[in-house]
Structure 1
Amino acid sequence: MTSIKKNIWYISKYASPIKYGFGTRHFYLAKEFCRMGYKTIVICSDSSHLLNFPQFKSTYTKEVFDGVDTWWIKTIKYVGAKSIRRMISWIDFELKLFFMDKRKLPRPDVVIVSSLSLFTIINGYFLKKKYKCKLIFEVRDIWPLSITEASNFKASNPLIKLLAWIEKFGYKNADVLVGTMPNLKEHAEKITGNSLQCFCIPQGVDMNLYASPAPLPKGYAEQYIPRDKFIVAYAGSIGRTNSLETIIECAKQLSHNDNIHFLFIGSGDLLSFFKSETESYNNITFAPKVKRGQVQTILAQCDLMYDSVMDLKLYHYGLSRNKWIDYLYSGKPLLASYSGFPSMLNEAKCGQFIPAEDQKSLKKAILYYSALSTEELNDIGLRGKQWLISNRTFDKLALDYRELF
């Protein structure tokens, strides 16, 4: 690495500073790049189905967050993640990014394009050619494989074919690939037939988020969190892809065990269905979704964390879950119903992978952990927290990224 500091453009439609409700990895890494002396620009959209941004008057608006010059592109708004307007918003972003007057920006030495949207890699390619700069393609979700695996879309669908072409184009024309998942290299080389420069820089942890956990709403704990029980907790979306059927059935089979209680915190399309299906079981509680700053307050009152995904080939390439970061920081053991490429739990030795959708093995594991002493549970959970702090802070991940510049 030379001593000359470079200019970095970090482009993602869904980048968001913490000021507007949720800070994404783009801003945390960009802030660290700035601290290293790099001039860092983030280019993003003001349209998201997850967050509400200010109503910008101009098509292009500049703000500065922690030294990071941020250019907002005003794009078509939409509501649902599966709406047609979402894809129209993608195209709107790409067209406005392409025609953006970039003379106000410092000439880039490195352009990082972070999916989603997958279309942005095409803009990244043109920027690479125009400025003779290095192009890094950051993949946070493997599209279109995620769609074909978890939905009814077939590979022959024209939209899927288009996305597959763009994916292959991006893999072949980027100078470096970065995956948040640990085994992207195998997938990308299978798609292209080429040997590729591909590295894993996973999701990170911002320690400031956990500095002062917020209190729960008045009466929340008394109503939803039982005392003197071994609490198995899940916090997150309650939908089809979350594959909670396995633990729900496990909870039903353990309803005779007065010591174990199952707590589900969150909302989603299947919440009403699961509540109706389990209303006669006293060992299952569904609690309302809480703010991000309150999550650790809830997890501190639980004993064993749980997560699950569907049994899909997609996960052969691994994943990097923000949920696992929250869980590990809580200092509690984690069980994950997951049959994909292993990471985090096995590295930190803070829990156990259970084969996806294997209710019998999950039940056995829950009974095992419920029989451990408080000291044994704390030792396991603490290993996870210490590993997280040593390996996943954004200053550490930014150093890994710097090696690619």
Structure 2
Amino acid sequence: MSRIWLINFFASTPATGIGGRHHYLGRELARMGHEVTVVAARRHHVLREGVDTAALPAEEMTDGYRFLRIDVPAYAHAHDKRRVLAGLVFSARLAGLRRRLGGRPDAVLCSSPDLLSYLGAERLARGCGARLVFEVRDIWPLTLVEIGGYSPRHPFIRFLQWIEDRAYARADRVVSNLEGAVEHMAARGMDRGKFTWVSNGIALDEVAAPAPLPPEVAQQIPADGLRIVYTGTLGTANALDTLIEAAALLRDLPDVHILLVGQGRARAELEARRDALGLTNVRFLGAVPKPQVQSVLAACDVCYIGLTADPLFKFGVSPNKLFDYLISGKPVLYGIDSGKFKPVERYDAGLTVPAEDPQALADAIRRIHAMPEQERRRMGENGRRAALEHYDYAQLARRLEEVLTG
């Protein structure tokens, strides 16, 4: 048994946020017999709206692992400059974990995109003689430069770049949920031998018994036709305007239905675009709780996932909804330019189209509309098999265990 500390400023439990990657990996590592602690900030912008952060316990046990919260200054949203202060305080207070937890870890994993945490995690690990693993879930500061529009010469960007390069040089091992991230890391001087790909995935116990849909949601899903569904945040990055524009090219197929299940800042703009185009084949169903997602997918025929055509995605992507889609057994329309990571093509689990290309997406929908049901079912089964064989969190945790324990 090893004592493992997983540090992620933005971690949460299922009761306070999405839970997500470190909840599932922590749970599985604990089931293997390890003593696992997930360390997070008490307050951050990824927590569920309405959570009383002041009332949350400093420590709690959840699904076999310990979840520990570090107090940090409050900030209002992702772009609030006080977020930097919160990150610095979090990093500084990591040094007190050894005293607070009453022992030394065998392994410390520090997860980005909060690069500031790495400095505190490195000091902690080296002071305890622990193996140090740096995890990259979003390539910072490159994301801030290529998508956020910041200059590489900005003083804060240069500071983050120094931390990133230091992490690649000094961490014992480096992992990422982005398969192609190693190319960026090697270009920054990292030894390729340090790298291990540990994708995001699915928790099979959660998808095995999905919660039923309430009648007010179920009745909005057409009883027949080709039902193409998107589930998740309605945001600009998800290329949902491409899906709306593709729907406008499919007016001659009245039995094709586009269903968007979720909420987000882009919803009003997307609804306005639908109305301006006079579309009757696009419906917005609102968000559903995570346990109901598989019930939504089961009631539909095809799943859509897209992202904007940003060069950053050439290093790969690992969106949670992709794995929800694969395990559903439904074919996937994949509109992401994700470099060598081509999961739908790799597993023959649907159709892949260029990002932000409404005509190509509409053509793919026509192709899948004309497909025999047996062919669609074959693609869906391929995707489900891939999810079971490659993206079960129990298997992913075993891969991470090898990195953490050597």
- Give the TM-score category using the shorter length: over 0.9
Matching of residue 89 in structure 1 with residue 86 in structure 2: yes
Contact preservation (8 Å) 1:184, 1:198: no
Say which of 254, 261, 275 aligns to 2:271.
275
What is the RMSD of the two structures over their aligned residues, measured on CA atoms?
2.0
Q: Partner of 1:63 in structure 2?
A: 60
Q: Partner of 2:319 in structure 1?
A: 321
Q: Tell me how far 1:309 sits from its aligned partner.
A: 0.9
Unaligned segments of structure 1, at least 5 residues: none
Q: What do residues 92-144 of structure 1 show as CA deviations (whole Å, max 9, x unaligned)?
A: 32222234452533211211111131111111211232122211001111111
Q: What do residues 167-224 of structure 1 show as CA deviations (whole Å, max 9, x unaligned)?
A: 11111111110010101111111012654510100002111221332232332232x3
Q: Evaluate the alpha carbon distance shift between residue 311 and residue 133 of structure 1 in structure 2; reply closer, same or farther with a 3 A threshold.
A: same
C-alpha separation in 1, matches of 2:343 and 2:78 = 28
Say which of 196, 199, 206 aligns to 1:202.
199
Q: Tell me how far 1:21 sits from its aligned partner.
A: 4.3
Contact preservation (8 Å) 2:39, 2:67: yes
Q: Partner of 1:78 in structure 2?
A: 75
Matching of residue 359 in structure 1 with residue 358 in structure 2: yes
C-alpha separation in 2, matches of 1:189 and 1:117 = 20
Q: Tell me how far 1:73 sits from its aligned partner.
A: 1.1
Given residue 97 of structure 1, which amino acid in structure 2 is its aligned partner? L
Give the length in aligned residue pairs. Answer: 399
Aligned-partner SS, 1:172: helix
| Alignment TM-score, normalising by the size of structure 1 | 0.92
C-alpha separation in 2, matches of 1:299 and 1:195 = 39
C-alpha separation in 1, matches of 2:190 and 2:385 = 39
Q: Evaluate the alpha carbon distance shift between residue 219 and residue 35 of structure 1 in structure 2; reply closer, same or farther with a 3 A threshold.
A: closer
Superposed, 1:1-400 pairs within 5 Å as: 5-52=1-48, 53-56=51-54, 61-100=58-97, 102=99, 104-192=101-189, 194-222=191-219, 224-279=220-275, 280-341=278-339, 342-400=341-399
Q: Tell me how far 1:46 sits from its aligned partner.
A: 1.8
C-alpha separation in 1, matches of 2:259 and 2:36 = 42
Aligned-partner SS, 1:225: coil
C-alpha separation in 2, matches of 1:72 and 1:22 = 16
Contact preservation (8 Å) 1:304, 1:332: yes
C-alpha separation in 2, matches of 1:198 and 1:80 = 32
Aligned-partner SS, 1:20: coil
C-alpha separation in 1, matches of 2:213 and 2:184 = 42
Contact preservation (8 Å) 1:249, 1:359: yes
| Alignment TM-score, normalising by the size of structure 2 | 0.92
C-alpha separation in 1, matches of 2:157 and 2:269 = 31
Given residue 344 of structure 1, which amino acid in structure 2 is its aligned partner? P
C-alpha separation in 2, matches of 1:196 and 1:258 = 53
Q: Tell me how far 1:156 sits from its aligned partner.
A: 2.3
Q: What do residues 4-60 of structure 1 show as CA deviations (whole Å, max 9, x unaligned)?
A: x322111111222223342222122122222222222221122122324554569x8
Higher mean displacement: 279-288 or 69-78:
69-78
Higher mean displacement: 141-150 or 328-337:
141-150
Contact preservation (8 Å) 2:306, 2:335: yes
Q: Evaluate the alpha carbon distance shift between residue 204 and residue 358 of structure 1 in structure 2; reply closer, same or farther with a 3 A threshold.
A: same
Unaligned segments of structure 2, at least 5 residues: none
C-alpha separation in 2, matches of 1:38 and 1:358 = 47
C-alpha separation in 2, matches of 1:18 and 1:278 = 34
Contact preservation (8 Å) 2:17, 2:46: no
Aligned-partner SS, 2:58: strand
Contact preservation (8 Å) 2:240, 2:270: no
Contact preservation (8 Å) 1:46, 1:54: no
Q: Tell me how far 1:300 sits from its aligned partner.
A: 1.2
C-alpha separation in 1, matches of 2:55 and 2:215 = 39
